[in-house]
Amino acid sequence: MTDPHPAPRPLSPAATAELGAAVLDRVGEAVVGKRAELQLVLAAVLAGGHVLLEDVPGLGKTLAARSFAQALGLSFRRLQFTPDLVPADVTGSFVYDRSGGDFAFRPGPLFAGLVLADEINRTPPKTQSALLEAMQEHQVTVEGQTFALPDPFCVLATANPVEYEGTYPLPEAQLDRFLLRVSFGYPPPEEEWQVLTRRLARRQEEVLLDPVTDAAGLRAMRAAVETVTVEESVSRYCVALVTATRARPEVQIGASPRGALALLLTARALAVLRGRDYVVPEDVKDVGVEALAHRLSLRPETWMQRVTPTDVARAVLAEVPVPASTLGPAGALDPARG
């Protein structure tokens, strides 16, 4: 049987960086500012992961997800999570086909290149868990039958962190499946004014973007990420960071080994977007808060002290010694240091 998605030929780091910059520029036509945050989202997509966009309403989370789907040339489905949603509404179900006299599988909204799981914390844990297999294995199992999801497949989920009525906390296992948790924050006044002027200029609500690449191009970019060199000191730095989270007095449950993988995989993608074929410690530091904070469970008493997981992640990044990279400009070992 022929593989529908043969292994792509990886792009060079320079070509990947150029294409990544073009994607960010195209997304920037719809989303004003937030270049650093958007770069982190793209890095997570290139690393083959999923992103939780957690912020107050109205800051462009849904617009960012739709814009990435258009710029990357991926099929897009929006799944609005509500309290009455059931797992079959997410994964799909078998329906009776009168013409064939048998039951046929009808795919759910998960069968798309980029899925927006909007307000994911508004649905019960049973329905939230329907995403677990899809996010980890890139497949869904319905009534004992397994169905593969498209390649590439990515979930961008949104959540409101300040409204608790009618919401359900995301289980730790669900949070751990997200490679990064990214917050946009309020824009400065100049960027907020640009949002208004752009809306007046286009004379319509919807923003339509031309694709920069397609699914095959994204697979080639992901293949380029897999060629990135990671020095032992950098990978040990990732392990040291997650180990430090488990020793903090505020933390009840620290980051798992999946947290170290998240640091490493996203740092590789970020390095490629920066035009390098090797990772430096600064790449790890730049993804540290977004990769670690949502994986930390704090002790109950810390909430009285207004300590947040983000505060703990920043403290760990500030305290753990940064190794000196021995990789030279060309990505080879520097003899002067080695």
Residues 235 and 192 in one domain: no
Residues 245 and 97 in one domain: no
Residues 147 and 238 in one domain: no
> Cis before residue 152, ω within 30 degrees of 0?
yes
Give the domain range for residue 311.
222-319
Residue pair 288/313 in contact (Cβ under 8 Å)? The answer is yes
Q: What does the pLDDT look like over 102-154, one tens digit per residue?
A: 888 888 889 999 999 988 888 888 888 788 888 888 888 888 888 899 999 99
Residues 176 and 111 in one domain: yes
Residues 167 and 247 in one domain: no
- Answer yes or no: is 13 within a domain: no
Distances in whole angstroms, Cα of residue 312 to Cα of each of 129, 181, 256, 261, 288: 27, 15, 15, 19, 11
What was the pLDDT predicted at 337? 32
Residues 39 and 132 in one domain: yes
| Count of H-run helices and E-run strands, the chain | 13, 11
Q: What does the pLDDT look like over 303-336, one tens digit per residue?
A: 777 888 999 999 999 999 998 855 554 444 333 3
Residues 119 and 247 in one domain: no
Tally of domains in the chain: 2
| Summary mean pLDDT of the chain | 87
- Answer yes or no: is 258 within a domain: yes
- Answer yes or no: is 65 within a domain: yes
Q: What does the pLDDT look like over 175-229, one tens digit per residue?
A: 888 999 999 888 899 989 998 998 888 888 888 899 999 999 999 999 999 999 9
- Answer yes or no: is 12 within a domain: no
Question: Residue 300 above 90 pLDDT?
Answer: no
Residues 181 and 239 in one domain: no
Tell which wins on pLDDT, 51 or 305: 51
What CATH number has the domain bearing residue 295? 1.10.8.80
Kindly state the helix (H) or strand (E) to which residue 247 belongs, with its residue range: helix 232-247
What CATH number has the domain bearing residue 185? 3.40.50.300
Residues 231 and 175 in one domain: no
- Answer yes or no: is 328 within a domain: no
Residues 185 and 235 in one domain: no
